[in-house]
Structure 1
Amino acid sequence: MACGSRLPVAADTGLRVADAERESGAWRQRSMKRTATHRGKGAAVTNAHLLEMDAILSAAGFFDFLGNVDCDRALASRDAEPFDACWMAAFDEVDGEPGAALDKRAVDALREKAFRLAFRASGNADISACVSDDIELIARSRSLGRTDGWPTEVLWDAYRNGRFPC
């Protein structure tokens, strides 16, 4: 079943996003390995890599492809090897890096934007949470100057080419 067929969302309302936030506990990350709760705080973005990401994410229809994703299959694929191991290895590389804290508010703002736009396009809170997690990983990696690692070459490349990475 395609994600968009699960929960119709009017393009001009945030009502469904608020419902998803309440239902999922404010963007709870899917994987039990990544259980922190995130709330975007909005921030001025100054890092050139993050500015570029913001512009790309803000493009009209950027996440429209999510409406055609087979949610159950995609989520199962992300939880399986090798995707999950690659994702966690990339996360472990940037987690705790001292430089990552400098752009935390900007990364959180991108994460929130990604969740809202992905939810509007897909109507699926789980897919939107994955997108949000991915955007955080990509942004943290890029803000540290790592523009050629797995987050950029696999995750960001997939999104920029209209594919849900799994």
Structure 2
Amino acid sequence: MQISFEEFVTARGPALLRFAYLLCGDRYLAEDVLQEVLARAYRRWSRIGGAPEPYLRKAVLNQYLSWWRRKSSSEALVATVPDRVQAYRTADELAARDEIWTLLATLPRPQRAVLVLRYYLDLSDSEIAELLGYAVPTVRVYAFRALGRLRAALSGRAPTTEARSG
């Protein structure tokens, strides 16, 4: 028996939104990406089958990657200030978290997608390659370059030649 669309969104919608947020780095853009995916999924829900989450995760990923290729979005991204700071966070933790988010935003989208899939969803290189439609060595190169850029930025050095491209 297939779960209804409403039941699925109620149960797994927050997890899909977190995934979209990690990819986009912006809450409102993540909501837009997920809304677009869910609107399309609703129309073909009966054909999606018994395991909709992997299908929708891939759809979110594809929407994120294609969102930036399209020029139809007229929204301007600006720095946002959180409504409130969680009490258990220290200033150092918040600064480190903000620095990581800032650095992730500088990565090319495929590299960022590879890191999110690897470290948030804990997918293997072959699973990431299948989702993105890349070869496994390409996934490894993107991860290597992305991590190299992050390490270089965190250590205050300019990225090496390998970390600059792709």
Q: Which has the larger radius of gyration?
A: 2
Give the TM-score of the pair, scaled to structure 2. 0.30
Q: Which structure has more helix as a fraction of its residues?
A: 2
**Relative contact order, higher structure (CA 8 A, sep 6+):** 1
Q: TM-score, normalised by structure 1?
A: 0.30
